[in-house]
Amino acid sequence: MMSPPVPDAPPDEILYRRPVRLAASARELWRSREVIWALTRRDFVARYKQAVLGVGWAVFTPVVLMVVFSVFFQRVTKVDTGGVPYALFAYLGLLPWTFFSAALLQGGTSLVSNNQLIRKIRCPREFFPIAGVAVALVDGAIAVGVLLVLFAVKGFAPHGLAVLAPAFLLIQVAFALGASLIASAVLVHVRDLRHGLPVLLQLGLFATPVAYGLDAVPPHWRPAYSLLNPLVPVIDGYRRTVLLGVQPQWGLVGLGALGAAISLVGGYALFKKLEPGIADVA
């Protein structure tokens, strides 16, 4: 026997048909930026408050992976680094990857993790995945300190073209934010994704040129590869400018920027489309 409809619930046929106004939503986000900062600070403090290593966990993953890659990948496959010490080569690839991985895990699960808060207060729901990405960005900034130590230990100095790094940072943040918005909105409705995300990220680590260089990818695949996974030209761009002192492959960087923009705008539009039902099912 079918249960009677809930009187206060909106009809199913209109639940997800609210018009999406991205410009107005972006203005509301900017006006409420203090709330995002408060959520970011709360999540960051809560994450490390009772941890023995504290913020040391922010560098644990990239450092351990760098050591593993140095022991196995470099000895078994002999990755061509262009004369750069492999530890620097690998760590500079791991920095954007670990940021993206942490952002997707924290931002993607943020709505489910804050379901009690979402049901009690009225605010734009995208605050929560944005705060998750912001925490991952702070972790990434801490992990950059290890890169500076590696430069000193290896007796290697970054090149002047490192001034282009903020352009690559902008692409990776846009891509991570778009992916987190998509994952957080979908995960509310498909809870199995919460268990599948770590598996997908493990596969993505090896599908992205982190332990190896872009030269290992066939040239005719690189444009589509860069469009679908903007981290590909981002990592290659960091290595070329910071470690090798040569110009990045601007064509691939442009495709990566386009892919990141599509991810961000499309992810935000999808999130706002699904937002009316989030509080009911989170």
pLDDT tens track for 118-169: 777 777 788 889 999 999 999 999 999 999 999 999 999 999 999 999 999 9
- Rounded distance between C-alpha atoms, residue 149 and residue 87, angstroms: 11
φ, ψ at 42 (rounded to 5°): -60, -45
Q: So what's the pLDDT on residue 272?
A: 86
3-state helix, strand, coil in the chain (%, to 5): 80, 0, 20
Confidence grade of residue 236 (pLDDT, cut at 50, 70, 90) = very high
**Greater confidence, 263 or 30?**
263
pLDDT of residue 1: 45
**Tens of pLDDT, residues 43-95:** 777 776 765 556 677 788 889 999 888 888 767 777 888 889 999 999 999 99
* pTM, 2 dp: 0.87
Is residue 279 predicted with pLDDT exceeding 90?
no
Ranges of beta strands (E only) in 39-185 are none
**Domain residue spans in the chain?**
33-44+51-281
